[in-house]
Amino acid sequence: MSADHSTTTAPGMWQRLRQWLPDRVDTRVRVAAWISLVLEIAIVGTGGAVRLTDSGLGCEWPLCTPDSLFPTAEQSYHSLIEFGNRGLSFFVGLAAVAVIVLISQIRRERRDLWTMAWIIFGGVLLQAAVGGILVIFDLHPNLVSFHYIVSLVLVGVSAAFVARMGQPVGPRELAVPRWLSIVTHVTSLFLAITVFIGVLTTGAGPHSGDPEVTLRNGFDATLLEHVHSWPAYALFALTLVLVIGSSIAGPAARAFQRWTIALLVIELVQIGVGLYQARNDLPPLAVGVHMVIAAISVAIMTAVVMHLKRLAAAGE
- Cβ distance 162 to 35 under 8 Å? no
Which residue, 61, 37, 303, is CA-closest to 184? 303
Measured CA distances, 260 to 167, 180, 227, 244 (Å):
18, 12, 25, 9
pLDDT band for 250, please (50, 70, 90 cuts).
confident
- Cβ distance 12 to 18 under 8 Å? no
- Cβ distance 236 to 267 under 8 Å? yes
Does the structure show a pLDDT above 50 at 1?
Answer: no
Does the structure show a pLDDT above 50 at 237?
Answer: yes
166-210 residue pLDDT tens: 888 888 899 999 999 999 999 999 999 999 999 999 888 888 888
Q: What is the spatial distance between Cα 132 and Cα 154, in angstroms, rounded to a whole number? A: 18
254-288 residue pLDDT tens: 999 999 999 999 999 999 999 999 899 889 999 99
Mean per-residue pLDDT of the chain = 91
Does the structure show a pLDDT above 50 at 233?
Answer: yes
84-129 residue pLDDT tens: 999 999 999 999 999 999 999 999 999 999 999 999 999 999 999 9
Does the structure show a pLDDT above 90 at 20?
Answer: no
Does the structure show a pLDDT above 80 at 14?
Answer: no
